Amino acid sequence: MPELPSDPTARRALLIEAFADGPLCGNGAAVVELQEAASPEWMQALAGSLKQSETAFLWLNPRQQWCIRWFTPTCEVPLCGHATLAATLALQHWNLVPVGDELRLASRSGGLAVRVDPQVTGAASLVLPSEPLIHEQAPSYLRQVLDSDVLGYWRSNLGYRVVLVDSALILRELRGVSERLEGADRQGLVVMQAGSSAELFGQTCDYQLRFFAPGLGIEEDPVTGSAHALVAPWWADALGKSTLHGWQPSARCGGMRCELQEGYRVRLSGLGHVLWSGSVATGPPGHVPGDWSVCSQD
């Protein structure tokens, strides 16, 4: 068979299963390396074709800072934990960052500190901002959707809603949630409960959660770093711990270690597995010189 002609506009790409102990679990994220900033329309179109819950785009700006943006198949999101973990491991896979050194990625949500673990193969960490949970009255329909008593309900400035359910609910067996969510819950609902039999980094997990966001084009996100960063301070206060292990019993389960930092920030540590490595050939990507300015390291 003759070889296909090469495309000079092709860009390196990986698919990494993040917050996973091994292949075929965790949360898949595509990572695409750009030569410079690209138009949002082109990035959105490529994310729609790759069909991962998030696709991360990386490029060096004129200041030689790595910039990152994230797109679901239908929209851009301001922050994404698992795709940032995947991007960190991708930079290491491409030998673009030294193992063990902390790097600060510039994003539309500010600077994000990331690091490849020098002691655990395939592990990396990132620091995400958290937000206080603001208590509210739970919508009455949730009791029927979740088939559980609702022990607490909160909103956050991140846009996610959080609901605490009784431990009697078998969280991994919860079905048909996304299509029945209403109102603001559709933009991101974290369903969490105390305890888990899962182990991570040699520790039994302290809590577990699932995350549904049909309003973002994601029926269910398998393992969600931003959700764990959001609820980790609440669990730390409830359990009297500064380091916790959280599990996400989705169909592609996974989890992470959460360490509280100063300034209402959380360091998330997890494992990633490279599922495929190659390139994407889409033709000219519609570069927008100067578009790097939408990213910040502050």
Q: In 3D, which of 261, 247, 276, 266 has the Cα closest to residue 19?
A: 247
CB atoms within 10 A of CB 135: 11
Q: CB-based contacts of 30: which residues, under 8 Å, 6+ apart?
A: 13, 14, 15, 47, 50, 52, 54, 55, 56
Annotated active-site residue 54? The verdict is: yes
DSSP type of residue 176: S
Give DSSP secondary structure letters for 198-264: -EETTEE-SEEEEEEEGGGTEEEESS-HHHHHHHHHHHHHHHT-SEEEEEE-STT-EEEEEEEETTT
Catalytic residue among 33, 54, 220, 259: 54
Beta strands 76-77 and 102-107: pairing type?
Answer: unpaired
Q: How far apart are CA 195 and CA 60, in angstroms?
A: 42
Q: How far apart are CA 47 and CA 42, in angstroms?
A: 9
In a 3-state reduction of DSSP, which class is residue 89?
helix
Query: Which residues are marked as active site?
Result: 54
